[in-house]
Amino acid sequence: MKRLLKIPGIWLLDSSGAVKIDNDDIALCHHYRDITIIVYVSGRRTNVQVPLKRVEDKLCSKKFFRCHRNYLVNLNRAGKLSDDTLTLPWWGPVPVSRRRRNKLKIKLERLADRRKNSF
């Protein structure tokens, strides 16, 4: 019987073909005019013609949060949360919808508690 090797990450199609993306390399996903822009920690970007919902479904829900209709952020890269924006140090302000704000606060608090307990 063959064993399947599970490699972490997701596969998406872009203009050059299939692209494998490691979850930890993604800092932000932004949807604009039927294109999802995947921004990496290094600053590099990949444009894919995939709905943001499909990218969200493929990524780990513990690390990523859909803070706005057009934005999916890596919570490990988050900076400061104000009333209607989440500031990412290397990107700038990202809008946060009113109905998702409280859930985002809870997730960020849990993440901070986990980090505190790990030291």
In whole angstroms, give the CA distance from residue 84 to residue 25. Answer: 26
Residue 4 in domain: no
- The residue range of the domain holding 100 is 10-118
End-to-end CA distance of the chain: 42
Residue 112 in domain: yes
* Segment holding 115, helix H or strand E: helix 98-118
Residue 49 in domain: yes
Residue 2 in domain: no
Digitized pLDDT (tens) for each residue of the chain, 119 residues in all:
555 445 566 777 666 777 777 788 889 999 999 999 999 888 888 888 889 998 898 887 788 999 999 999 999 888 889 889 999 887 889 999 999 999 999 999 888 887 777 65
Residue 5 in domain: no
Into how many domains does the chain fold? 1
pLDDT of residue 5: 47
Neighbours of 28 (CB within 10 A): 21
Beta bridge partners of 36: 31, 48
CATH value at residue 94:
2.40.50.1020
Residue 78 in domain: yes
* Identity of residue 108: L
Give, in order, the Cα–Cα distances in Å from 69 to each of 6, 53, 95, 102: 30, 9, 9, 15
